[in-house]
Amino acid sequence: MPETASPPSAAGLVFSARTEPEGERFDAPAGQPLLQSALQAGVVLRSSCRNGTCRTCLCRARGQVAYRIEWPGLSAEEKAENYILPCVAYPLSDVVLLTWDQG
């Protein structure tokens, strides 16, 4: 999953997000973390700290995301295996959250 550590430049864009296997869909504005968008839509995702440190929200995903914090609580190996932290991950594309694979 391509990823950048720089803030999203397309803050006005709204992407589509979906959970798998639940099939719940929600709008995912580029300017806010995926977890926040999910909660606003009534989609419950596992979470705790909501600041990228506890890893409760860890799940694998398809799509592109960016982080505004220097190094979220993910190893390079986890990033390479498409794991993300939805509480601090900003979408750069449509995203599918594979909630069955939460690490």
Binding site for ligand FES (CB under 6 A): 47-50, 52-57, 73, 85, 87
For residues 86 and 33, the answer to whether their CB atoms sit within 8 Å is yes
Minimum Å gap between C-beta 39 and ligand FES is: 11
Q: Choose between 12 and 70: whose C-beta lies nearer to ligand FES.
A: 70
Minimum Å gap between C-beta 86 and ligand FES is: 7
How far is residue 19's CA from residue 11's CA, in Å, rounded to a whole number? 22
Contacts of 49 (CB under 8 A, 6+ apart): 56, 87
Q: Choose between 29 and 33: whose C-beta lies nearer to ligand FES.
A: 33
Minimum Å gap between C-beta 70 and ligand FES is: 15
Strand extents, DSSP E, the chain:
3-4, 14-20, 25-29, 59-62, 65-67, 83-84, 89-91, 95-98
Q: Choose between 10 and 71: whose C-beta lies nearer to ligand FES.
A: 71
Minimum Å gap between C-beta 102 and ligand FES is: 11
Phi/psi for 16 (5° steps) reads -105, 135
Q: Choose between 1 and 49: whose C-beta lies nearer to ligand FES.
A: 49
